[in-house]
Amino acid sequence: MIFVALALYRLFKGVDQNLAVLMVILGGLMPAAIYFFNVLNDAAALMLVRGADFLSVFEKSQRDALAMLFLNLHGQRFVAGELSFTGLLLPQYEEKVSNIAFPVLTGEVAFMLWLVIKGAKPQPLDAQLHCRRLVRLHSWRLSISRRLNRLRGAGTG
């Protein structure tokens, strides 16, 4: 996932480097951290079920309840991944928000694919056209400069 974000950064840094950096943070580093902590929840549930020596102070039912807590936290990764904390703060609205967010996420994927396919085509640099534009700009500046000099000369006489 991080490698895809870095490849997209290289692709889009010529367009807008600040947005490309933001894309790497939000699209690569943050989901990687969320996945890492999600694996920690799985490991904690597994450790509780296996019953290590230091967990002997907890009864079996308490360890099972804690294991279920960590397994339920595993499902909250999707909430954190979508940057929507509705499931945690307002669980009664979670289904409504999910129904609204699904088309948005589908559109986001379609937009991303469109950017990758259409936006990745570099425009060829026409050196002659570029030189002609520079010559025109230079001649325009010279004509403006001459006019200003004439106006200054007419104002002093």
pLDDT for the residue numbered 121: 64
Residue 58: how many other CB atoms lie within 10 Å: 14
C-alpha to C-alpha distance for 28 and 8, rounded to whole angstroms:
10
CB of 2 closer than 8 Å to CB of 28: yes
pLDDT for the residue numbered 148: 82
pLDDT for the residue numbered 9: 84
pLDDT for the residue numbered 78: 62
pLDDT for the residue numbered 156: 59
C-alpha to C-alpha distance for 31 and 5, rounded to whole angstroms:
11
Sequence spans of domains, the chain: 2-127, 128-157
pLDDT for the residue numbered 89: 59
pLDDT for the residue numbered 81: 56
Handedness of CA 99, 101, 105, 111 (dihedral sign): positive
Per-residue pLDDT of the chain (157 residues; tens, 9 = 90+): 677 778 888 888 888 888 888 878 877 777 788 788 888 888 888 888 887 788 888 888 888 898 888 888 877 766 665 554 455 556 677 677 777 777 777 777 788 888 788 776 666 667 777 778 888 888 888 888 888 888 877 665 5
